[in-house]
Amino acid sequence: MAYSNKMSLLLMVFLICIITVSQVFGASLQGRVVNLDTGEPLIGANVVLVGTKRGASTDLDGYFYIPNVPRGKYELRVSMMGYENTQKNIIIKADEEVGISLKEVSLKGEPVIITASRKEQKLQESPVSVTIAQADELTVNNPFSAEEAVENLAGVTMVNQQVSIRNSSGFAYGTGARVLLLLDGVPVLAGDTGEIKWDTIPIQQLQRVEVVKTAGSALYGSGAMGGVINVITKKPEQPKPTYTITFMAGAYDKPYYKEWQWTDDLLTYHHIGLEHTRKIGRTQLMLSVNEKMNDGFRQANDSKRIQSLGKLYYEHSPESNLTFLYNAAYEDRGNWFAWVDQNHALQTSASRRNDRVYSSKLNSYVKYNRKIFDKEIFYTLKAHYLYGKWFQDFRDGEEKDYSINQKLGMDSQFNLYKFDNQAISLGVEGFYTDITSKIFGLRSGLGGAFFVQDELSHINDWLHISEPLNDLVLTAGGRFDYSYVGNDSKWWQLTPKIGGVYNINNNITLRASGGLGFRTPTMAELFTETTILGIIQVQPNPQLNPEAAKSAEIGGNLLYKNHYIDMALFWNRYEDMIEAKANEEEGTAKFVNLDKARIAGLELTVKSTFSKITTRFNYVFTDSRDLTTGNPLAYRPEHTSTINIAYDYASFGQCNITYHYADIVKNVGGYYTNDPRVPKSVFDVGAMFQFDKYTINAKVKNLFQYNYTSIVRTLAPIRSFDISLTAQY
């Protein structure tokens, strides 16, 4: 489509959004939130009308104001860090005024997480570092894809779609992730490459994301040695049938340098999503369909995606429930590999411009939860199935690369709360993988595991002593894994862990943890045999050993009123670390074991709220090194940082600016090592408005047109503008 036509279309979208927003009317709700004990006004408390997207934050004097509220009955929820949540039923007939008092509490009760210990626990009781992000935080940046949403989380970096937590992974085209991705607690790493298929992750259907930043092998096995990301989808809770429509449209700016402009067309992207939830008796249902199209800012980098998610929740009784989920995705995309040269940084080789990759994915699970024996035992049974198929349509005359993989898994877990001061989790897992592939061969694999963990609290009672250990929580556990890969390789591994959390007082918590981790090589790392661009010969290495790691972390956090500081020191010592090794002179690449490697560093997170301004700062320093050669590990920046400043205005909107920094990668893995590289230094700005049932997000990404490479010879996204409208009926 011509540039002008697409621009006209975008203008129409803006106009539609503005017209939609203007259809707002109703009464208003205002009031004041104060400290129950002292009567002092509370600044920055969140006031929300439950079931709507309407809300406000209190100002310097504790007042809030929510305009244009349709008349009716509402449940008002008021929350603030350091205070007990309060809910109140109100009826809005005309302009209303309410007074709210919040009780100051110990903050260790908020929020609840489920990933760090495979059970529900308070965030402050976790012996390992955890980042949690609610749906609002994930979508306020108007992400086009799930990886964009996750990339902004503290401690998480993304190297061309390969996710890494505290530099645990480098870059190997997604292969062999050291971060385990869970969807509602169910693993969704691809059976062949062990990579994360981000196009299957729904953004609009997310409830929250939990990131566990230390080795999770002791609970989750192979693949989790660098951490765990648990993507938790919404539970369909709306009592009435609800339709949610999302429309997003955006466009890339012209590149900063005229030489890089490779088309006169306006390059655009869009997302159209439809979600329906309803309750039928005891059954709650959510169905969604999302279509995404992206011209791509680079040549041969366009994509079309269709994704659908369905979730059914059946509550048989207060003690038992059943959940079924399917998530299917199809993608047709260009196959960008590398630029022609730095003077044509957005163009790829003419011989590769028509290469395409087509892929289909399905993941599904059934989960049964039951509380038994007077609710002292919580039992979960899960079965999941993953299917993935892709083929690469090379230029004429070349045989297509393809892979079809299937993975079936089951796990059963008991959480026992029967004993005083103890919470015991134990379970068994099993999986089977089958692969038919041109580049990996015909392969199958299977594995099984048993895990147990005991959490001790109120140590004083347990040891029959008095102060001061009453606020100490100790955790110990381990996991035994056995796996078999279709080349007659059999591996077993025992991975113990230990951890502790000590609450010095209501504001300060200290934590420490240590353990072993491991990862078995994926089929792709073992058996890949192909040629890239006709010049890089990827060789198999069936002799690869599993990698193992010793990990330790100490940290603590301080929570005082609206200010939160968390700091952690971490240390990981790897043996037989699996890394991609390329030899430019020979034109070869393969995965090899590094004898000894170390990834150590510190992470600092600060979150503060001053009146209507909220600041978030995250900094990670890592020293990642091959201890045999002394060289830095590939694609691990030493310093990464994110700064976000958000301003809540007029009780119905927010604007924010985010700065992302990562210093120059010292090692790029063997190819194109002499190419110039620069740090990542990118600003994003955005604004969000909420009116009645409508939410509008607008965003400018890479505001100052900063150009850097995410991997060698691949330019990161240039400046883009987008706007989205979400409406709920």
Partner 1 sequence: MKKIIIIIMMLGILVFIWSCKIDHGLGPIDENTGISGTITFVGAWPEPGSMMILSDIWLFGPIAHTEVIPKDSLNIFSVYEIYNNYSERFSYINYDSLYEALEAQGENLTAENCTVRYDYEVAPIDPGTYKWIFFIAIPNIGLGELDSLHYYIMATYYDYGDSSEPGQVLVEDERMVKEINMTVDFNVFHELIADSKNSYSANSDYDKNREVRDGLFK
Catalog residues that contact partner 1 under the rule CB under 8 A: 43, 60, 256-260, 341-343, 345, 610-611, 613, 615, 645, 657, 659, 676-678, 681, 683, 704-709, 715
CB of 5 to partner 1, least distance (A): 17
CB of 22 to partner 1, least distance (A): 30
CB of 334 to partner 1, least distance (A): 22
Alpha-carbon distance 289 to 445, whole Å?
A: 33
For residue 695, which amino acid is it?
A: T
CB of 707 to partner 1, least distance (A): 4
For residue 692, which amino acid is it?
A: D
CB of 7 to partner 1, least distance (A): 16
- Nearer to partner 1 (CB atom), residue 58 or residue 86: 58
- Residue 182, beta-bridge partner list: 187, 230
CB of 258 to partner 1, least distance (A): 7
CB of 353 to partner 1, least distance (A): 18
Alpha-carbon distance 268 to 278, whole Å?
A: 34
Strands (E), 166-205: 180-183, 186-187
CB of 60 to partner 1, least distance (A): 6
Question: In 220-231, which positions are buried (b, 16+ CB within 10 angstroms) versus exposed (e)?
Answer: bbbbbbbbbbbb
- Nearer to partner 1 (CB atom), residue 58 or residue 522: 58
Q: Rounded to a whole number, what is the distance in angstroms from the first to the last CA of the chain?
A: 33
* Residue 594 CB burial class (10 angstroms; 0-12, 13-18, ≥19): buried
- Nearer to partner 1 (CB atom), residue 237 or residue 341: 341
- Nearer to partner 1 (CB atom), residue 484 or residue 708: 708
Alpha-carbon distance 288 to 419, whole Å?
A: 42
CB of 329 to partner 1, least distance (A): 33
Q: Which single residue is written with the structure tokens 């990118």?
A: 682
- Nearer to partner 1 (CB atom), residue 592 or residue 716: 716
- Residue 320, beta-bridge partner list: 317, 370
Q: Which two tokens stand for residue 483?
A: 């796996």
Q: Which single residue is written with the structure tokens 């590990």?
A: 633
Residue 247 vs residues 142, 221, 243, 691: alpha-carbon distances, Å = 11, 39, 13, 16
Are residues 333 and 360 in contact, defined by beta-carbon separation less than 8 angstroms?
Answer: no
Residue 357 vs residues 46, 90, 160, 194, 505: alpha-carbon distances, Å = 46, 54, 16, 18, 55
Q: Which single residue is written with the structure tokens 């996710």?
A: 163
Q: What angle do CA 701, 618, 699 make, to 5 degrees?
A: 15
CB of 678 to partner 1, least distance (A): 5
CB of 169 to partner 1, least distance (A): 24
- Nearer to partner 1 (CB atom), residue 629 or residue 705: 705
CB of 562 to partner 1, least distance (A): 11
Alpha-carbon distance 368 to 323, whole Å?
A: 6
Task: Look at residues 251, 263, 330 and name the one whose alpha carbon lies nearest to residue 294.
Answer: 251
**On the CB side of 650, how many CA atoms lie within 13 Å of its CA?**
10
- Nearer to partner 1 (CB atom), residue 16 or residue 60: 60
CB of 345 to partner 1, least distance (A): 7
DSSP 348-390: B-GGGTT-EEEEEEEEEEEEEEEEETTTTEEEEEEEEEEEEEE
CB of 565 to partner 1, least distance (A): 17
Alpha-carbon distance 396 to 418, whole Å?
A: 66
Alpha-carbon distance 564 to 570, whole Å?
A: 20
- Nearer to partner 1 (CB atom), residue 484 or residue 706: 706
- Nearer to partner 1 (CB atom), residue 115 or residue 614: 614
Residue 469 has phi, psi (to 5 degrees) of -95, 15
CB of 110 to partner 1, least distance (A): 24
Q: Which two tokens stand for residue 233?
A: 């989808």
Alpha-carbon distance 215 to 504, whole Å?
A: 26
- Nearer to partner 1 (CB atom), residue 243 or residue 704: 704
DSSP 20: H
- Nearer to partner 1 (CB atom), residue 135 or residue 646: 646
- Nearer to partner 1 (CB atom), residue 97 or residue 341: 341
Sheet holding 46-49, edge to edge: 55-57, 46-49, 72-80, 83-92
- Nearer to partner 1 (CB atom), residue 230 or residue 348: 348
CB of 256 to partner 1, least distance (A): 5
- Nearer to partner 1 (CB atom), residue 243 or residue 610: 610
- Nearer to partner 1 (CB atom), residue 630 or residue 676: 676
**On the CB side of 93, how many CA atoms lie within 13 Å of its CA?**
0
- Residue 66, beta-bridge partner list: 29
Q: Residue 269, Cβ neighbours under 10 Å: how many?
A: 21
CB of 610 to partner 1, least distance (A): 6
Q: Residue 590, Cβ neighbours under 10 Å: how many?
A: 17
Beta strands 130-134 and 156-159 are unpaired
Residue 245 has phi, psi (to 5 degrees) of -115, 135
Q: Is 125 helix (H, G, I), strand (E, B) or coil?
A: helix
- Nearer to partner 1 (CB atom), residue 370 or residue 677: 677
Chain Cα centroid distance, residue 65: 33
- Nearer to partner 1 (CB atom), residue 330 or residue 706: 706
* Residue 28 CB burial class (10 angstroms; 0-12, 13-18, ≥19): middle
- Nearer to partner 1 (CB atom), residue 73 or residue 258: 258
CB of 667 to partner 1, least distance (A): 18
Alpha-carbon distance 713 to 49, whole Å?
A: 49
